[in-house]
Amino acid sequence: MPTNNISQRTTLNAKRFPNIIFGPINSRRFGKSLGIDLSPGKKQCNFDCLYCELDPAKTMAQQDEVLPVAQIINAVKEGLREHGDIDVLTVTANGEPTLYPYLNELIEVINKIKGHTKTLILSNAATIDDPKIQEALLKFDEVKLSLDCATQKCLKKLDRSHEGIDVERIKKGMLDFKARYRGSLIIEILVVATLNDKPEEIGALNDYLLKLHPDRIDLGTIDRPPAFDVKPVSYERLLALSRQFDPSLPLYIASRKKAHMTPSAYTEEEILDTLAKRPLTKEDIEALFDEASQKRFEFLQNEKKIVQVDSNGVIFYKKD
């Protein structure tokens, strides 16, 4: 858990870490995003996930190498000067950004200097039950929290969480945070074959997400080489899993694997049946439906049998 006790930490000379700012990266949803890394020197995380793209590292409850706020702010100012048309500043880390002990102070200063640029933080949610962390996260325009597991057994096995981190406290913390938060709350679930794709895990996630009702849920799988020998699931499997969630949940299949799919032929009835089970994005439709089926899809749209809904920046198509 992050605390304000920094006496034993090393305050870093940021000249060693020119990589506080990274990007810009173009994203379809956010536009041009500039990243801010709150731990550029080494991995500092309270998880050590099996699928992490960073090397395995000992978990920690608080950062032991800490950058000064002023140094990060100088880097942000320089980044904004260099790339004048940034749409979003994304706070992240080699590890977990909420372990940065001055996160609240940092976001307050960023909000003063950012102009019209939006702010986003990517967190593993392990500290979300801490009121001080919630105070800081409330100041972001958008918060994206990971939730790979809704049971303690899965959290321990897949995310290899630091001692004392409890999934029930995470779940309660998210509910408390959602009740207070006015921005967009996105939940990210990363599916790892044979670990969190079992019916009991998906069922537990579904039950919880129906209570939380976040603005969007991104369901994805491993896209980059993982730290340990764990396997992704196929796009077809993600699609099948997505159908185990309640259709009212704003679930988006966020996987690059869909690019490798061979599209299939769907009748009009099959298209409507597919969309009744799970709303799909244009990307999903292009991955799933062959050319003739896409024409049928367009016809059904013109007939108003399929409607378009905007779910926090992502367009979904569903059966009317």
Q: How far is the CB of 125 from ligand SF4 (least distance, A)?
A: 9
Residue (of 162, 145, 168) closest to 48 by Cα position: 162
Residue (of 146, 137, 217, 145) closest to 182 by Cα position: 137
Beta carbon nearer to ligand SF4, 37 or 48: 48
Cα radius of gyration rounded to whole Å, the chain? 20
Window contacting ligand SF4 (CB under 6 A); options: 45-53, 161-169, 235-243, 287-295:
45-53
Under the binding rule (CB under 6 A), the answer on residue 49 touching ligand SF4 is yes
Number of Cβ within a 10 Å radius of residue 319? 16
Under the binding rule (CB under 6 A), the answer on residue 124 touching ligand SF4 is yes
Q: How far is the CB of 136 from ligand SF4 (least distance, A)?
A: 18
Beta carbon nearer to ligand SF4, 117 or 161: 161
Beta carbon nearer to ligand SF4, 37 or 142: 37
Window contacting ligand SF4 (CB under 6 A); options: 44-52, 161-169, 195-203, 269-277:
44-52
Total binding residues toward ligand SF4, as defined by CB under 6 A: 9
DSSP code for 100 = S
Q: Are 190 and 149 in contact (CB under 8 A)?
A: no
Specify the 3-state DSSP secondary structure of 315: strand
Under the binding rule (CB under 6 A), the answer on residue 50 touching ligand SF4 is no
Checking phi first, is residue 125 left (phi over 0); if not, alpha (psi -120 to 50) or beta? Answer: left
Under the binding rule (CB under 6 A), the answer on residue 187 touching ligand SF4 is no
Strands 21-27 and 31-37 come out as antiparallel
Write out the residues near ligand SF4 by the rule CB under 6 A. Answer: 45, 47-49, 52, 54, 95-96, 124
